[in-house]
């Protein structure tokens, strides 16, 4: 459990600083409100739309590819930690792993899976 | 420094060769134009080389990769079955894909990847490897089921298969996790030796794990009561895909089923024996009785394939070396019969899935006698009539079960074979004794590759039926 | 000390799980699910499964929940104000039976857990569950599954593209 004390303190500090900043601005900052400022603004979007807009199916493909490469990345953590201890063998192992997924990336790229069409 | 593990690339050679070819086909497809013929030949070459390279290690059981991968007669023989069935599927697809407008070249590489998964399944002696193999096979099959992207039935098949299959994978994985939890190891060898001491045998966690394994595997091989997906998926998929998934992947999952239950947990067979007997019997009955009322040929063969899963389960229940070799023999025989029957369906199939009803076969015996004779051979062999391969396979399975004293099971199995003749003969009666409704319009599309498949299938069905000796002695090794 | 951390996290996990089931808006359910995943990561840390905890956060709370969100938005699910869920009449018996079966299994699990001798917990080594320890067995004993996993990911990639891309040919 001891090894978590540092991490927890770090987490506490980070949330403290971020939260503190938000709190401080809302407390100390000047507050002037007028009609135009209160409107939610996003460039190029109409202001009032139904929240139930259908997303394009293209997002789905992006999300699936994200998961796959995310899982791939997860394998890199233990490898990076053990990189020196594993020596040449570990290097070849990970090289093969990444090569196979590189084939996947090449395929997805050439097939236009990363284009937004 | 962490010492590097021992890597036995020679044992792994079929997997390596086939993976390289699969990736090669995938990449090559990006750079060639619309003509995919070169991919077909490359895939067939890859399958051939993979089958040949599986012989590199001899036949003795050789364990490698810290006991998680094994090369023995079982895995080598199945590698050959997989290579043959995948090659037949690819050859059947060539003209079918052109007619049905399936243009994508990924088709071939997915079949190759699926075959990689099957080889991994047949050769693994470790729960993690078995799970990975099953997932590679399943994901490839989900894709293949939905390969006709514009067809509603195909989409339905892919979605149904995916949702139910994902659930089954979950059950399977949970079962494996519980078995691991109860025994403390994932290697089948070690599980067997842990269970040899009586201490762990009655652990409820272990029993729950075994039940979940039965559920997961039961789904993957389409045994009752987890068979509901099979008819819809078989009907909705492209016909070569249906033929493919009814043979290779099923054989592969049975191989893993066999390895876990007969090599990993035989010491607690008192517990799973009864469950599997019940599953086998109802699988045979539901498959055969369900097939009787089908009018669609693909659905009929789907139910027939369910009933065959029941017969193969009998080989598994026998748990002896005869059971193992009869399982191998039956897989090869089933590959020939099933691919033959599906090949005939494919050459008679027109776009939009016409000519798939049993009544469309009326009059075939007079218009195209050769095709009708071939179809009769395949159907009679599926039913188990001598002198065809199906008879020898069934005889062999039942004798393995009799040897272990499962008389009731065998009697019910034989009874089911008799029932199955009803629907196989019904198709034959239609072909030879019924007049077609209206004008006879069925025009078979005789592509050279499809004819080659039918030729190979006829040869295999008769050869294995009349001279089963060499193959049987190979499986006995 | 460990129980002091475990109970609040576990209680929060149960509450969030209930939120997932009973929330009217699908997005609300998904957000509760993210919280649930984070709580589970906490439970894993309590079990000294550090690497699994990291995976839980990165893959489940991160990647998979992104997919969930996208799918919810894709399907354009409305709050279920006028949708009434009904189980099929014929299935009632089956549902009840399954429920009892699950209850029985839960009872069995609880009785096993309670009967276990918790005074002498199994000894585990100091580095158990750390990223380095997981990596050590992943890259030596389980090197083959590791490489095969990359094939699995590749097939999944091809599958995602073949089935979900709008224009493929």
The tens digit of pLDDT for each residue in C94-111 reads 888 999 999 998 898 888
Touching B (3+ Cβ pairs <8 A), the chains are A, C
Confidence of residue C85 (pLDDT cuts 50, 70, 90): low
Q: Which residue has the higher pLDDT, A94 or C129?
A: A94
The number of angstroms, rounded, from the C-alpha of A89 to the middle of its chain's C-alpha atoms is 31
Please list the rounded mean pLDDT of every run of 10 residues in chain A (117 residues).
79 93 88 76 68 72 89 91 89 93 92 82
Identify which of B319, B464, B465 has the alpha carbon closest to the alpha carbon of residue B406: B319
pLDDT for the residue A100: 94
Cβ–Cβ contact A75 with C under 8 A: yes
- Nearest beta carbon to residue C63 from set A70, A90, A103: A70
Is C141 close to B5, i.e. CB distance below 8 A? yes
By the CB < 8 Å criterion, does C156 face chain A?
A: yes
Residue B27, min C-alpha distance to chain A (Å): 6
Cα of first residue to Cα of last residue in chain C, in angstroms, is 60
CA-atom Rg of chain B in angstroms: 21
Tell the residue number behind the tokens 């030949």, with chain if given.
Answer: B41
In terms of Cα–Cα distance, which of B65, B317, B68, B57 is closest to B189? B68
Q: What pLDDT is stored for residue A45 in this prediction?
A: 67
Residues 427-466 of B with CB under 8 A from C: none
Chain A touched by C73 (CB under 8 Å): yes
pLDDT of residue C169: 64
Residue B356's pLDDT is 76
Integer distance in angstroms from the first to the last C-alpha of chain B?
42
Going by pLDDT thresholds of 50, 70 and 90, the confidence category of residue C17 is: very high
- Which of C114, C152, C156 is the mutation pick for testing B, counting most B CBs within 10 A? C152
| Residues in chain B where the model's pLDDT stays below 70 | 198, 200, 351-355, 438-441
Nearest-Cα residue of chain A relative to residue B28: A107
DSSP C17-53: HHHHHH-SSHHHHHHHHHHHHHHHHHHHHHTT-HHHH
- The answer to whether the CB of B24 falls within 8 A of the CB of B42 is yes
Angle at which helices B239-258 and B204-220 cross, to 10°: 160
Give the tokens for residue C93: 């018996």
Distance CA C106, CA C89 (A): 26
Average pLDDT over residues C107-132: 79
A63–C70 CB contact, under 8 Å: yes
Phi, psi of B124 (to 5 degrees): -90, 145
CA atoms within 13 A on the CB side of B103: 10
**Cα–Cα nearest to B40, from B114, B97, B80:** B97
Rounded-to-integer distance, Cα B40 and Cα B17, Å: 16
Q: CB of B147 within 8 A of CB of B104? A: yes
The end-to-end CA distance of chain A, in Å, is 50
Please report the domains of chain A, with CATH numbers, ordered by start residue: 3-111 (1.20.58.1610)
Give me the pLDDT at residue A52, please.
62
% of chain C exceeding 70 in pLDDT: 90
Q: What CA–CA distance (Å, rounded) separates B448 from B462?
A: 21
For B330-342, give the DSSP string.
HHHHHHHHHHHHH
| Residues B116 and C149: beta-carbon distance below 8 Å | no
Neighbours of chain C (3+ CB pairs under 8 A): A, B
Interface test with B, best of C112, C151, C167, C168 (most B CBs within 10 A): C151
Query: In DSSP terms, which residues pair with B71 in a beta bridge?
Result: B62
Query: Residues near C115 by Cβ (< 8 Å), separated by ≥ 6?
Result: none
- B97 Cβ contact list (under 8 Å, min separation 6): B103, B107, B238, B240
A-chain CB neighbours of B2 within 8 Å are 82, 85-87, 90
Which residues of chain C make contact with B12, given a CB cutoff of 8 A? Answer: 144
- The radius of gyration computed from the CA coordinates of chain C, to the nearest angstrom, equals 21
Burial class for B206, CB neighbours closer than 10 Å (0-12, 13-18, 19+): buried
Do residues B212 and B172 lie in contact, with contact meaning Cβ atoms separated by under 8 Å?
Answer: yes
The domain spans of chain B are: 13-476
Residue C146 pLDDT level (bands cut at 50, 70, 90): very high
Give C67's contacts in chain B (Cβ within 8 Å): none
- Taking the C-alpha atoms of residue B3 and residue A100, their distance in angstroms, rounded to an integer, is 24
Nearest CA in chain B to A89: B4
- The CA-atom distances, in angstroms, between B418 and each of B329, B353, B380, B389 are 21, 30, 11, 16
pLDDT given for residue B66 in this prediction: 86
CB neighbourhood size of B191 (10 A): 26
Task: Give the C-alpha separation, B455 to B118, whole Å.
Answer: 25
Residues 6+ apart with CB under 8 A from C75: none
Three-state DSSP class for residue B386 = coil
How far is B427 from B297, CA to CA, in rounded Å? Answer: 9
Going from the C-alpha of C48 to that of each of B119, B177, C29, C129, the distances in angstroms are: 36, 18, 29, 6
| Measured distance CA(C126)–CA(C130) in Å, rounded | 9
Q: Which residue, among B90, B422, B369, B118, has the nearest Cα to B240 in the 3D structure? A: B90
Give the pLDDT of residue C79: 53
Please indicate whether, in this complex, the C-beta atoms of A66 and C66 are within 8 angstroms of each other. yes
Mean pLDDT of chain C: 85
Q: Please tell me the distance from the alpha carbon of residue B65 to that of residue C137, in angstroms, as a whole number.
A: 12
Task: Decide: B311 and B276 in contact? Cβ < 8 Å.
Answer: no
Q: Which of B110, B132, B208 sits opposite C158 (nearest CB)?
A: B110
Q: Do A111 and C161 touch (CB under 8 A)?
A: yes
Q: Which of A1, A68, A112 sits opposite C157 (nearest CB)?
A: A68
Q: Would you state the pLDDT for residue B61? A: 87
- Its pTM stands at 0.91
Tokens of C70: 């996208």
Using DSSP, state whether B3 is helix, strand or coil: coil
d(Cα B250, Cα B244) in Å, to the nearest integer? 9
Which tokens belong to A78?
A: 């233990």
């Amino acid at each position: 459990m001891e090894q978590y004390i540092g991490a927890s303190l770090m987490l506490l500090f980070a949330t403290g600083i971020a939260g503190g900043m938000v709190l401080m601005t809302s407390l100390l900052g000047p507050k002037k409100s007028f009609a135009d400022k209160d409107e939610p603004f996003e460039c190029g979007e109409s202001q009032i739309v139904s929240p139930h807009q259908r997303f394009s199916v293209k997002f789905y493909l992006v999300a699936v590819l994200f998961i796959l490469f995310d899982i791939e990345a997860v394998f890199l953590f233990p490898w990076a930690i053990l990189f020196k201890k594993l020596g040449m063998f570990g290097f070849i192992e990970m090289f093969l792993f990444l090569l196979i997924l590189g084939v996947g990336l090449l395929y997805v790229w050439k097939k236009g899976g990363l284009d937004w069409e | 420094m962490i010492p590097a593990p021992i890597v036995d690339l020679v044992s792994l050679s079929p997997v390596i060769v086939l993976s390289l070819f699969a990736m090669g086909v995938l990449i090559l497809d990006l750079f060639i134009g619309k003509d995919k013929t070169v991919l077909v030949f490359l895939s067939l070459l890859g399958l051939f080389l993979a089958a040949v390279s599986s012989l590199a290690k001899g036949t003795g059981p050789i364990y490698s990769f810290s006991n998680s991968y094994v090369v023995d007669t079982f895995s080598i023989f199945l590698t050959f079955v997989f290579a043959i069935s995948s090659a037949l599927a690819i050859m059947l697809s060539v003209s079918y894909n052109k007619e049905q407008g399936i243009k994508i070249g990924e088709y071939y590489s997915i079949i190759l990847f699926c075959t990689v998964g099957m080889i991994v399944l047949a050769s693994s002696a470790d729960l993690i490897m078995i799970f990975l193999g099953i997932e590679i096979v399943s994901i490839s099959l989900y894709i293949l089921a939905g390969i006709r992207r514009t067809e509603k039935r195909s989409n339905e098949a892919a979605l149904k298969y995916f949702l139910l299959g994902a659930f089954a994978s979950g059950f399977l994985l949970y079962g494996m996790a519980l078995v691991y939890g109860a025994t403390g190891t994932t290697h089948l060898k070690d599980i067997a030796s842990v269970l040899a001491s009586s201490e762990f045998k009655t652990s409820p966690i272990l029993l729950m794990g075994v039940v979940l394994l039965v559920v997961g595997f039961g789904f993957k091989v389409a045994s009752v009561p987890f068979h509901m997906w099979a008819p819809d998926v078989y009907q909705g998929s492209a016909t070569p895909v249906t033929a493919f998934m009814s043979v290779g992947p099923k054989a592969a999952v049975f191989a893993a089923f066999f390895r876990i239950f007969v090599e990993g947990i035989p010491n607690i067979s008192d517990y799973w024996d009864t469950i599997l007997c019940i599953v086998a019997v109802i699988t045979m009955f539901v498959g055969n009785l369900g097939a009787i009322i089908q009018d669609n040929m693909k659905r009929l063969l789907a139910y027939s394939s369910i009933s065959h899963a029941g017969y193969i389960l009998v080989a598994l229940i026998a748990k002896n070396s005869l059971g193992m070799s009869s399982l191998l023999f039956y897989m090869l025989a089933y590959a020939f019969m099933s691919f033959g029957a599906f090949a005939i369906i494919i050459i008679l199939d027109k776009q939009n899935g016409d000519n798939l009803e049993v009544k469309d076969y009326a009059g075939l015996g007079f218009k195209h006698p050769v095709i009708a004779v071939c179809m009769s051979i395949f159907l009679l062999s599926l039913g188990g009539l001598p002198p065809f391969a199906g008879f020898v396979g069934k005889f062999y399975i039942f004798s393995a079960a009799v040897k272990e004293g499962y008389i009731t099971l065998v009697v019910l199995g034989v009874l089911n074979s008799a029932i199955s003749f009803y629907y196989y003969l019904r198709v034959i009666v239609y072909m030879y004794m019924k007049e077609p409704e209206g004008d006879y319009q069925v025009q078979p599309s005789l592509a050279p590759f499809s004819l080659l498949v039918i030729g190979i299938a006829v040869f295999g069905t008769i050869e294995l039926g009349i001279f089963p000796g060499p193959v049987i002695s190979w499986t006995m090794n | 000390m460990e129980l002091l951390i475990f109970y609040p996290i576990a209680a929060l996990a149960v509450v969030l799980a209930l939120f997932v089931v009973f929330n009217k808006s699908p997005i609300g359910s998904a957000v509760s699910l993210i919280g649930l995943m984070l709580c589970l990561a906490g439970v894993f840390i309590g079990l000294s499964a550090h690497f699994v905890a990291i995976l839980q956060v990165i893959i489940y709370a991160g990647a998979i929940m992104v997919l969930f969100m996208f799918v919810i938005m894709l399907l354009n699910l409305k709050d279920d104000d006028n949708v009434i869920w009904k189980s099929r009449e014929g299935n009632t018996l089956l549902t009840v039976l399954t429920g009892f079966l699950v209850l029985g299994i839960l009872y069995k699990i609880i009785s096993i857990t309670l009967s276990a001798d918790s005074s002498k917990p199994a000894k585990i080594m100091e580095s158990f569950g750390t990223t380095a320890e997981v990596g050590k067995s992943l890259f030596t004993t389980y090197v083959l599954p590791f490489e095969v996993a990359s094939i699995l990911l590749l097939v999944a990639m091809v599958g995602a593209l073949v089935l979900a891309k709008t224009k493929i040919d």
